[in-house]
Each structure stands twice: as C-alpha cells, then as structure tokens.
Amino acid sequence: MYPRWYWSVSVEDVPKIVVEPPGPKAREILEKDQKLLMQSFVRWYPLVIKAGYGPIIEDVDGNLYIDFNAGIAVINVGHSHPKVIEAIKNQVEKFTHYSLTDFYYEIAVKHAEILTSIVPISGGKRVFYTNSGAEAIEGCLKISRGYFENKRPYVISFIGAFHGRTYGAMSISASKPIHRKGFSPLLPNIIYIPYPYPYRCPFGKNLSEEECGDAVIGFLEDWIFKRVVDPNEVAAIFFEPIQGEGGYIVPPKNFFKKLRKLANNYGILLVDDEVQAGFGRTGKWFAIEHFEIEPDLIAMAKAIANGLPLGAIVGKENIMNLPRGSHATTFGGNPISLAASIAVIEVIKEEKLLENAEKVGNYIIKMFKEAMDEIEIIGDVRGLGLMIGIELVRNRKTKEPATKELVELLNRCFKRGIVVIGAGFSTIRIAPPLNIPLELAEKGVQIILDELKKINLELKKS
C-alpha cells in the first residue's frame, strides 16, 4: 500500500474526539445548511467534514474519525491520495472542459483503453461517459431499447433495487416508497420481481440459498413470462450484483449464471449496475466477476474517479451503437475527472488494493460472525471484500428489523469516532476506503461491537 507518511494523521491517533460532536463550528454550519439548502435528503448524523487523510476524516472541530463509509463507497483509494491529486493538478493546468460529445480529446481515448481492459466483457467494447451513476443508468435504458429499435419496450428490475433518482432510474428502483412518492407518472413498462435475499427469501423461510435463487428464476419464467409479458418484448433485465441501498444483499452464488442462461434463451440483455459495487469494492474490479458471468452492459460511477463527478457505460460493441445525435452529454467525460480516474486505476493496481479489500473484508466478516454467539441482535453477516452488511434484528426467530436500534448504534459510533451508515431497514453498511490497514479496521469494528453489546443488553431488558 501507499507509504504511511502520505497520511497527515497517524493511525495510532485515530479515533480521537476532542469535543463532543457536533462541536461549535459544526453547529454553526448546520444552522446555515438548514436555511440555505433544500432538505430533500436524510443525513444520518451531524458530521461536518473538514479534511480527509487516507481512511481517516477530520471534522471542523478537530475530531478524527475512522471512515467506514468512504463517502458512500466513493473514496476507494482513500482521501487526498497524492497520485490522484497530482493527476488532477496536471490536467487543470492544461484544460478543464471541451464537450467530448462535440469535439475530441486524447485523454478520453487513453482512459477508455485502460477502462475496457479491466471490464469483464469479452470481445469488442465501447464506452459512453456520463456525470453520475443515475445518468449511466438512464443511458443504459436508452441503449437497451435502442438496440432493439424499440421493438422490446419492457424492462425488468428487482424489488429492493436502487438505481438512482432521475426519472428513468427512479422508475426501475424499488428500494423505498419515499423515493417515488408524489412523482408519478413514472416510466411505463417496468416489471419488478423479487431479488434472491437468502436471509429473508421472499419465497419461503425454509429454502436454502440455492433454492431461493431457483425460486426467483422460476417465478420469472413461469409467472412473469407466461402471464404478464411475452419475453420477446423484454429488452433488458437491470440488476445490482450486490444490492446496495436494499441492504448489502449478496445473492446465491449460482443465481446470475441461471439468470444469464434464461436471458440468453430469449435474447434479453443483462444490465449490471456496478455504481456502488464496482472499482475494487468487493475485492475484484467488478462484483459480477464473483458470479462468473458476462453482462451485456455495465453502468459505473462513484469510485471511478475517487469523488470527482464521472460515470460510464461500458458494453458490447454491437450493442453500444445508438444512431448519431440520439444520445449525448455536455459534461460527461470531463478531462479532469478522466485524469483522476486513470490515477485511481493505477493506484488500485500498484498498491494491490483488490487484495487488501479481500483480506481486510474477510477479517471484518470473521469478527462479526464470531460475535454472533454473544450479541443476539446480529441476525446476519454478509458481504464480499469491503462491501459488508450486518443485519440487526430484535428477535432472531421472527427476524423483526431492529430499525430504531440501528439508528441509535450509528449515532453512538459517530460520537466515538466511527463514520458508518445503514442500508435497507436495519443493516449496518461497512464500506471503508480499500487502503484501510487491518489494525485500523479492527479498531473500528471493535467500537461497533462494544456499542452493539450495550444495545443488545438494553433490548433484553426492555
């Protein structure tokens, strides 16, 4: 990994709380935020960030935190990485923008060559650059329908999925009703099917992981394709290889192979949303590699440029073939973001961050699994690499989600210097920068476990 000296703060000094958060400077900013910004989003707790150093963040009052969130799985090579900063500075001094969809620049071609070399799609590939994950999903919708010249108007998506908040992306999402409430009519011809959620299989409590996956495939073929829509009218199936906002849900190992086979039978495209799971998060470049299939299109963003706005669609050459003038973007493929992304890919390779994600992730999972005997509120531990979900339940038999307890836990961890958030109804979402050292990760997990023990005892007494 990158030398320890590139962080301005020593791992031994973290976490460090010098004033109970939110401190006076933070409270001043929070008050202005309430007045000046539209409050259409939900913050987990009042963290006001001043700076970041690798896997460490500092707030405006001088508190130091272990970052178990990475800006929602974005800062994969750590905060303020010198190689990324250098790449940004070098590009800024050349030019900052010149609309790629109207003109040409070399860094876009250079980046596309590098990006397509790591994408798990064989044969010829093409890239379309966007500004965000939602925009990449919107592009995938157009590409999928355009490929079939709109002769296949239907799209299938999964319950629990989150693909973004723009209209098309929102229309194929089914994570929380609040995301869609009051915004109808949405995009038509979207069909939702259950996702294979082994801990809470929608087809029965007693099914094994493999049986749960098979039940979803059977439902799609026997109920959707025979009763709802002709499969020859379906353009694409959109999926997250690991559901993110839905609860960091890892599907059965064999599920995507069977979904690929079914899609092939009817000529349906598979669109892989790697916005949160991609760029090394799971210990491989893209999470779908764990399931040993090739998608037709991949949407990516978040960690691709370590915090700079950039998204991309990569797909098979024959599918990435919309007519000229039918799809474009002003800012997609910004040269500064592309320069940062090239540096990100180089850092992940040079510092062996895929290997570190796997090693540290396995250790974190092991720590939580070993704690399950003592801490009954932990219902399920799951994940790949550093995309880890710890689902909390009030009762292991009923699996009642421990929603209030999750909120309480996250706030207690914040007060103790751990930045971690939730997913789904009651799942701890652990997604630190990929360069987090084992000893720092262990510190963070131990603090979470300490607070879980207290909450577990409080729940027993209630």
Contacts of 126 (CB under 8 A, 6+ apart): 314, 315, 317, 320, 321
Token code pair at residue 3 = 């030398």
Spatial distance between the Cα atoms of 275 and 293, rounded to a whole number of angstroms = 18
Q: Does the bond joining 15 to the residue before it have cis omega, within 30 degrees of 0?
A: yes
Q: How far apart are the first and last CA of the chain?
A: 46
pLDDT tens for the chain, 462 residues: list them. 444 445 667 778 899 999 999 999 999 999 999 999 999 999 999 999 999 999 999 999 999 999 999 999 999 999 999 999 999 999 999 999 999 999 999 999 999 999 999 999 999 999 999 999 999 999 999 999 999 998 999 999 999 999 999 999 999 999 999 999 999 999 999 999 999 999 999 999 889 999 999 999 999 999 999 999 999 999 999 999 999 999 999 999 999 999 999 999 999 999 999 999 999 999 999 999 999 999 999 999 999 999 999 999 999 999 999 999 999 999 999 999 999 999 999 999 999 999 999 999 999 999 999 999 999 999 999 999 999 999 999 999 999 999 999 999 999 999 999 999 999 999 999 999 999 999 999 999 999 999 999 999 999 998
Write down the residue that tokens 């650059």 correspond to.
129
Q: Which of 255, 238, 283 lies closest to 383 in space, CA to CA?
A: 283
Under DSSP, the state recorded for 7 is S
Q: Which of 366, 277, 291 lies closest to 73 in space, CA to CA?
A: 277
Contacts of 120 (CB under 8 A, 6+ apart): 285, 286, 288, 289, 294, 295, 298
Token code pair at residue 7 = 């962080």
Token code pair at residue 460 = 């027993």
pLDDT at 3: 46
Contacts of 89 (CB under 8 A, 6+ apart): none
Residues making up the chain, counted from first to last = 462
Phi (first) and psi of residue 225, to 5 degrees? -75, -20
Q: How far is CA 138 from the centre of its chain?
A: 17
Beta strands 387-395; 427-430: pairing state: antiparallel
User: Would the CA dihedral through 278, 282, 284, 286 be positive or negative?
Assistant: negative
Token code pair at residue 371 = 């704690």
DSSP string, 181-214: TT--S--SSEEEE----GGG-TT-TT--HHHHHH
Token code pair at residue 266 = 């009817």
Write down the residue that tokens 């919309």 correspond to.
322
Token code pair at residue 191 = 């069909």
